[in-house]
Amino acid sequence: MVPRNDHLWIGLAVSFFLSFVSYALFLQLGEWFTASAGRAISFRPRTLALIAICLNILPMNVFRRTYRTKSLKGLVIGVMIMAAVWFFYFGRELLEG
């Protein structure tokens, strides 16, 4: 049985939406920690962005279990694009040491 709503663009949309929203929530969470602690608590943006990208494992598992292979391919393509952008943006900082 072929599942409904199994399209490549759905996987792309889920990957970008989940990553951007989770990154924004992580930034907001850092501000809440700073306000509640009464002192500056900062998280590195590169770490928050990497965690936001890695959160795509959750919908990846859902797509795999429900046999949505086209959506899974779109999700993987979106994750690879974001990982390449992350490495391009933060790679020099990591490699310079």
Residue-wise pLDDT tens digits, 15-29: 999 999 999 999 999
Residue bearing the bigger pLDDT, 1 or 66: 66
Express each pLDDT in 36-51 by its tens digit: 988 888 889 999 999 9
Q: How far apart are CA 47 and CA 13, in angstroms?
A: 22
**Mean pLDDT rounded to a whole number for the chain:** 93
pLDDT for 15 equals 97
Tokens of 59: 């919908």
Identify which of 24, 46, 56 has the alpha carbon closest to the alpha carbon of residue 32: 24
pLDDT for 97 equals 65
